[in-house]
Amino acid sequence: MPVHSIRGGYANTYLIEDGDSCVAVDVGTAAAASRILQYFNRRSLDTSRLKLVTATHFHIDHVAGISRLVDLFPEIEVCFFKTVGEYLKRKSKLCLISPSLWLNRLTVFMALDGHIRNTVAALVSDRVGIPLPVLRTWLPSRYHAACILCEGQPVPYLPHWELIATPGHTTDSVCFYNRQEKTLLTGDTILSTGGRCKLNSFCCDRTAIKGSFQRLLPLTVAHIYPGHGTPLNNLGGLGAIDQ
């Protein structure tokens, strides 16, 4: 049940294999979507194996390439955490991160992941999930999304994985955990930089993200696939993560 890293997005894009099915997580630009197709073609894989695309949270750098992916894989399903449904139905808005955090942290993230190189890809990607006043009301229109994922329920096409709600960076943030493989996809809850993991300080609710980390702490984790930064392996758990 391997996890494959796909280059081409502002955030890290991952393909999870579970049995005969694949699920794409955090397709942040159209370029990332195109590289998923290239991945299938290079390995002569049947594209029908890609069943679903989801995201660890509804921010532009994690969802802006979904429309392109749907164009390339017309049979794919789009499925989000249930809280995202509140955004798509306009019952609530994306939470706003304070301007001071934007100024202090955004340039760091751009340098970390080479965001400047992704500008061209962003121009042909969806403009949705933008956590700024006025812009946060922009919603996708080129695909239907089922917002049914929730904690404690099976994740479609991923029988060996579970969803864990981890609010803090956003109210809809989630992680995906494989207990057998001791693998955790952390989205923007836990990031990686300089060979170390740290709890994300670029968040809507610092108290909530600390509470989410306490929920994750008891998990047996050997492999972390973060939303930004390099995946880390052979870990001895989450106890050494910087908070």
pLDDT in tens, the chain (243 residues): 699 999 877 789 999 999 999 999 999 999 999 999 999 999 999 999 999 999 999 999 999 999 999 999 999 999 999 999 999 999 999 998 887 777 666 555 555 555 555 665 666 689 899 888 888 988 887 899 999 999 999 999 999 999 999 999 999 999 999 999 999 999 999 999 888 899 998 899 999 999 999 999 999 999 999 999 899 999 988 987 877
Residue 133 has which token pair? 């006043």
What is the C-alpha to C-alpha distance for residues 191 and 15, in angstroms, rounded to an integer?
18
Q: Are 43 and 71 in contact (CB under 8 A)?
A: no
The pLDDT assigned to 111 comes to: 52
- In terms of Cβ atoms closer than 10 Å to its own Cβ (0-12, 13-18, 19+), residue 10 is buried
| CATH code matching the domain that covers 3-226, chosen among 3.40.50.11810, 3.60.15.10, 3.30.450.40, 3.30.1330.100 | 3.60.15.10
What is the C-alpha to C-alpha distance for residues 176 and 156, in angstroms, rounded to an integer?
12
Which among 169, 183, 241 has a CA at the least distance from the CA of 212?
169
**pTM for this entry:** 0.93
The pLDDT assigned to 100 comes to: 74
Residue 72 has which token pair? 């390339």
CA quadruple 11, 16, 22, 23: dihedral sign: negative
**Region of residue 231 (left: phi > 0; alpha: psi -120 to 50; beta: else):** beta
C-alpha radius of gyration, the chain, whole number = 16
Q: Are 227 and 206 in contact (CB under 8 A)?
A: no
Residue 137 DSSP one-character state: G
**Residue ranges per structural domain of the chain:** 3-226
Q: How far is CA 75 from the centre of its chain?
A: 21
